[in-house]
Amino acid sequence: MELARRQEPEEEDVNIVELIVKLMTQAEDFMDKTGIQKKAMVMNNLKHLIGVSVYAENYALIQQTIDFVVSVARGNTKLDFKKLKKRFYNCC
pTM above threshold 0.75: no
Distance separating alpha carbons of residues 61 and 63, to the nearest angstrom: 5
Q: What is the reported pLDDT for 9?
A: 47
The answer for residues whose C-beta is within 8 angstroms of residue 68's C-beta and 6 or more apart is 77
Burial class (CB in 10 A: 0-12, 13-18, 19+), 89: exposed
Please give the backbone phi and psi of residue 67, each rounded to the nearest 5 degrees, phi first. -60, -40
Integer angstrom CA distances of residue 41 from 7, 22, 31, 44? 17, 12, 13, 5
Mean pLDDT for back-to-back runs of 10 residues, the chain (92 residues): 53 81 95 95 96 95 95 87 75 57
Distance of CA 77 to the CA centre of its chain: 16
Distance of CA 17 to the CA centre of its chain: 5
